[in-house]
Amino acid sequence: MKRRPGGKCPACGADVREHVKDERGREERIEKVVAVISTVLVLALSLFAGGCSIVEGVLVYVVVGMAVWYWGRGTF
């Protein structure tokens, strides 16, 4: 059975609960921002790509998807 240190650093014994709480809050804020920006990009993309052919539309979705993934990956 793995030992659970009860919110303390196993190396130095410092209390890490506040740090974990702060990091979870930070990650939650980042996820919300990524979700809002992604939604706005998808809506804008839908308006822009509405007049494109299927190949152009797929390429636009790929480029925007990669941009959102790259941006989201850099925030964590």
Return the HEC string of the chain. Answer: CCCCCCCECCCCCCECHHHHHHHHHHHHHHHHHHHHHHHHHHHHHHHHHCCCCHHHHHHHHHHHHHHHHHHHHHCC
Share of the chain above pLDDT 70, in %: 86
Q: What is the pLDDT of residue 71?
A: 77
* Residue 60, domain member (yes or no): yes
- pTM of whole model > 0.75? no
Classify residue 10: in a domain, yes or no. Answer: no
Question: pLDDT tens digits for 36-72?
Answer: 887 887 777 777 767 777 777 778 778 878 887 887 7
* Residue 49, in any domain of the structure: yes
Residue 5 domain-assigned? no
How far is Cα 37 from Cα 44, in angstroms, rounded to an integer? 10
Q: How many domains does the chain have?
A: 1
The residue segments making up the domain with residue 40 are 17-74
